[in-house]
Homo-oligomer: A and B are copies of this chain.
Amino acid sequence: MRSDTKLDRRSRNNARVTITDLSQALCLTKGTVSRALNGYPDISEATRLRVVRAAQAMGYRPLTHAQAIKTGRSRSIGFVVELSQKDAHRPFLAEFLAGLTQAASYEGWTLTVATSETEADTLKIMRSLVQQQKADGFILPRVLWQDPRIALLSAEKIPFICYGRPKNYENLSYFDIESELSMREAVQHFVDLGHQQIAYIGSATHYAFSHHRRDGYLRGMNEAGLVPDPFLIKEGVVSAEDAAEATRGLLALDEPPTAVLCATDTLARGVYEVANQIGLKIGSEISVIGYDGSPEASAMWPHLSTFSIDNRKAGVALGTMFIDRIREPDAPVVQTLLQSHLCRAGSTGAPVLSPEQLAHRLAPFQGQLIHSHQNSGRER
């Protein structure tokens, strides 16, 4: 009788093996089976092995959300994408998610993705995801220099790992791409090619990475014995359009830069835009380096020299770091840095013009450049 209905249910339900099935097959109570599988010390090694083997053989996998209702942990890593800046996430998202889910699924975990419109929204969503036990914690993408998410999660003791290094990162677990060194390398590369007048276009300063990249530029300049001219530094530039505006400002200078270092590939698009409009030859009359290794970089012509970063690997690293943290909440913080490497392409070359010659070359276009303001960057 009983076994009849059991079988019946089993066959409709796609034959999931439950802990009860397993315990019956082993002539043990389900409590014992559960403790055996979870490595409780009051189970003899012999029966533990017996249980583990049977579970393996019968293909038993516990229902994580059935566990969750008692344990409170749902083995799911939360990921909230904030969409206020439309472009902020696109280039790296797919590969990054791939890495994240790869790490997650390897351990039988799940990735729960949510999106939000505003910062306040993000906090609310994260809180509710945890309360609904839909996430055991979070991976924080694109960490801000002073990140309210970190404040919230720390205060509420919700586990998280940062992708990026914020202002005070001493006691935080993070993974980051080392971009300071990259920017120094970029400056060095420009210098090696013979550039002296090297400009920098930086992204929105509330992002943590903006700080590291700018510092890298500054240190690179110092190391090369160059004094970074404040006029050559545009910070807080958000979009390609803003970057174009910034570029016009740079080219309107008395001594325009022969090389421009951009904090992101998207910003480099702005440089290209202006250069294309006035017929300035990229890679010779002006050189450009970006950062991100995005597909845009190879859509530009000449191809943009940029720092390619392995977002897949970043995802894997962050995923495993997160799971480890949940498993061992009291372990010391883990801080990982990954190097990115420069992909040289056609956008960098020896300067064919000195800054003075460049200025002369640009003279006819001053009308198009003049309307830009000295401080086109938008500070947050």
Q: Is A101 in contact with chain B by the CB < 8 A criterion?
A: yes
* Distance to closest chain B CB from A288 (angstroms): 13
> Which of B13, B87, B273 makes the CB contact (< 8 A) with A72?
B13
- Residues from chain B with Cβ under 8 Å of A66 in the complex: 65, 69
Is the CB–CB distance between B105 and A125 below 8 Å? yes
- CB-CB nearest in chain B for A102: B115
Q: Is A14 in contact with chain B by the CB < 8 A criterion?
A: yes
Is the CB–CB distance between A63 and B132 below 8 Å? yes
With A93-B94, A94-B93, A130-B14: A269-B299 Cβ-Cβ less than 8 Å: yes
Is the CB–CB distance between B112 and A16 below 8 Å? no
Q: Is A300 in contact with chain B by the CB < 8 A criterion?
A: yes
A-B contacts, 6 of them at CB < 8 A, read A81-B101, A90-B90, A110-B134, A295-B296, A300-B301, A301-B301
Is the CB–CB distance between B72 and A63 below 8 Å? no
Q: Is A323 in contact with chain B by the CB < 8 A criterion?
A: no
- Residues from chain B with Cβ under 8 Å of A296 in the complex: 295-296, 299
Is the CB–CB distance between A111 and B110 below 8 Å? no
Complex-state Cα separation, A297 to B296, whole angstroms: 8
> Which of B69, B86, B93 makes the CB contact (< 8 A) with A93?
B93
- Residues from chain B with Cβ under 8 Å of A74 in the complex: 65
Q: Is A278 in contact with chain B by the CB < 8 A criterion?
A: no
Q: Is A118 in contact with chain B by the CB < 8 A criterion?
A: no
Complex-state Cα separation, A85 to B121, whole angstroms: 34
Within 8 A of B (CB), among A269-320: 269, 272-273, 276, 295-302
Q: Mark A358-371, 1 if CB is under 8 A from B, else 0.
A: 00000000000000
Is the CB–CB distance between B97 and A113 below 8 Å? yes
Closest A-B pairs by Cβ, 4 of them: A65-B65, A296-B299, A299-B299, A101-B115
Is the CB–CB distance between A156 and B298 below 8 Å? no
- Residues from chain B with Cβ under 8 Å of A300 in the complex: 299-301
- CB-CB nearest in chain B for A266: B295
- Residues from chain B with Cβ under 8 Å of A111 in the complex: 112-114
- Residues from chain B with Cβ under 8 Å of A113 in the complex: 97, 101, 111-113
- CB-CB nearest in chain B for A301: B276
Is the CB–CB distance between B132 and A115 below 8 Å? no
Complex-state Cα separation, A83 to B113, whole angstroms: 18
> Which of B16, B115, B272 makes the CB contact (< 8 A) with A97?
B115
Complex-state Cα separation, A133 to B69, whole angstroms: 14
* Distance to closest chain B CB from A83 (angstroms): 5
Is the CB–CB distance between B69 and A98 below 8 Å? no
Is the CB–CB distance between A14 and B114 below 8 Å? no
- Residues from chain B with Cβ under 8 Å of A240 in the complex: 298
Is the CB–CB distance between B276 and A14 below 8 Å? no
* Distance to closest chain B CB from A50 (angstroms): 24
Is the CB–CB distance between B90 and A14 below 8 Å? no
- Residues from chain B with Cβ under 8 Å of A90 in the complex: 90-91, 93-95, 295
Is the CB–CB distance between A98 and B110 below 8 Å? no
* Distance to closest chain B CB from A116 (angstroms): 9
